[in-house]
Amino acid sequence: MRIGILTSGGDSPGMNAAIRAAVRCATAHGQEMVGIRHGYLGLINGDMIPLDNRAVGGIIERGGTFLGSARSKEFMEPDGQQRALRSIEVAGLDGLIVIGGNGSLAGARWLQENGVPTVGIPASIDNDVYGSAMAIGVDTALNTVVECLDRIRDTAISHDRAFVVEVMGRESGYIALMGGLAGGAELVLVPEFPVSLEQISEHVLAGLRKGKHHSIIVVAEGFVAAGSPRADKASGRILSDFLERTGTIETRLSILGHLQRGGSPSAFDRILASRLGNAAVHMLTDGESGVMVALSGQEVTTVLLSEIALPAKNFNPEIYDLVYEIAN
Ligand code: F6P
């Protein structure tokens, strides 16, 4: 078989480890691998490179994706889609592995439904892909967030301040919730549970009354305070301004931004990526496609690509309650 592999959408640490594993498993079974550069854009333009074992040496520890990524608007248009199908034919690809988040996996589903045997691998720091307990990159991003929270707490304690720390996650509160729990946050604000600015202020004041002198508030970028218009997405800025304006507590804002997406992948992400890269190749060589390889408990499993549009179930409300219980 000639198998194409691409990374698409927001990059995440561990994508390189997944490519490496896929290439090495494929060559071990006598298959040929082709790397497609910059995701669906490269597929449309036929931008491909041969990948052998040596081409993927020295990348397991590197963040990002050495194939490059893109958020291709062209691939959402019929013209781009037809060009992509032609490129696949010209390159003689018998199957495709797509590594990415929800948008990228929706593209994988489209290819499968249009005659290209395709297998998806979930990779997104947001952990919002249906059917996989963890996506590649989540663990590394969480470790980065926790390291940042530890540093921020040092200065918050020195100055008796509150810090609003805005984290990524799009519409998902997973990074905020788990990062907040591991980082000992006083408050975690997520899109899944809207609360009002007044309630947040009251919570901080209650902490001060209980003898707390500082506060770490982790807010997901997708959080919108109850009672605010949906368009008010600058969640961190709005909240820190509110706490300052109302005299609740001296407050600083820290937006962690894209530093959450970079960095050397954790051991967990390297292991997960290696297992999923291997499983994806086995699917294709066994004649199975139209699925995403995924993590269920400790096991690698598969989920139909036609199901991944369902809402992810990785946000655990019990953990949300736990954060509040132990922040007292
Ligand atoms: O989906 C991953 C993610 O990092 C989100 O958390 C964030 O909202 C978005 O990508 C940022 O995308 P971009 O890098 O295109 O600005």
Task: List, edge to edge, every strand of the sheet that includes 48-51.
Answer: 48-51, 32-36, 2-7, 95-100, 118-122, 291-296, 299-304
Delimiting residues of CATH 3.40.50.460 domain(s) in the chain: 138-261
Question: Hey, which residues are catalytic here?
Answer: 126
Q: What element of type H or E holds 102?
A: helix 102-113
d(CA 138, ligand 1 centre) in Å: 13
Within 170-316, where are the H helices?
A: 174-182, 197-209, 235-245, 267-285
Cα(199) to ligand 1 centroid in Å equals 28
> Can you identify the CATH homologous superfamily of domain 138-261?
Phosphofructokinase domain (3.40.50.460)
* Bridge partner list, 220: 167
Per-residue pLDDT tens for 251-274?
999 999 999 999 999 999 999 999
Q: Using 50, 70 and 90 to split pLDDT, how confident is the model at 328? A: confident
Query: Residues with beta carbon inside 6 Å of ligand 1?
Result: 10, 71, 101, 124-126, 168-170, 221, 261
Question: Which atom, in ligand 1's list, is nearest to the CA of 221?
Answer: 8
pLDDT of residue 289: 98
What's the token pair of residue 137?
Answer: 């990159």
Residue nearest atom 3 of ligand 1, based on CA coordinates: 10
From the options 3.40.50.450, 3.30.565.10, 3.40.50.720, 3.30.70.3400, give the CATH code of 2-137+265-307.
Answer: 3.40.50.450
Kindly state the average pLDDT of the residues 49-62.
98
The rounded Å distance from CA 62 to ligand 1 centre is 19
Pocket test for ligand 1, best of 140, 167, 170 (most atoms within 8 A of CB): 170
- Taking the centre of ligand 1 as the mean of its atom positions, its distance from the CA of residue 169, in whole angstroms, is 7
For residue 85, pLDDT beyond 80: yes
137-178 residue pLDDT tens: 999 999 999 999 999 999 999 999 999 999 999 999 999 999
Using DSSP, state whether 209 is helix, strand or coil: helix
Distance (Å, whole) CA 120 – CA 289: 9
Residue 234 binned pLDDT confidence (cut-offs 50, 70, 90) = confident
The H or E element containing residue 18 is helix 15-28
Query: What's the CA-to-centroid distance between 11 and ligand 1, angstroms?
Result: 9
Q: What is the pLDDT of residue 318?
A: 96
Q: How far apart, in Å, are the Cα atoms of 197 and each of 50, 95, 226?
A: 54, 50, 7
Does 229 have pLDDT greater than 80?
no
**Which atom of ligand 1 is the closest one to the Cα of 125?**
2
Mean pLDDT along residues 70-96 = 97
- For 109-121, the pLDDT digits (tens) are 999 999 999 999 9
pLDDT at 230 over 80: no
- CATH 3.40.50.450 spans which residues of the chain? 2-137+265-307
Of residues 163 and 328, the one with the higher pLDDT is 163
Contact predicate 60/17, CB 8 Å: yes
Residue range 22-47, pLDDT digits in tens: 999 999 999 999 999 999 999 999 99
Atom of ligand 1 nearest to the CA of 170: 8
Q: Is the pLDDT of residue 232 over 80?
A: no
Q: Which residue lies with its CA nearest to atom 14 of ligand 1?
A: 10
Which protein residue has the closest C-alpha to ligand 1 atom 13? 10
Q: Which atom belonging to ligand 1 lies closest to the Cα atom of 71?
A: 15
- Round to the nearest angstrom and report the end-to-end CA distance of the chain: 58
Q: Whose CA is nearest to atom 12 of ligand 1?
A: 10
185 in Cβ contact with 216 (< 8 Å): yes
Q: What pLDDT is stored for residue 176 in this prediction?
A: 98
Distance, in Å, from the CA atom of 226 to the CA atom of 204, rounded to the nearest integer, reads: 17
- Please give the average per-residue pLDDT across 206-231, as a whole number: 92
β-sheet with 251-255: strand ranges across? 187-189, 215-220, 162-167, 251-255
Q: How much of the chain exceeds pLDDT 90, in percent?
A: 96
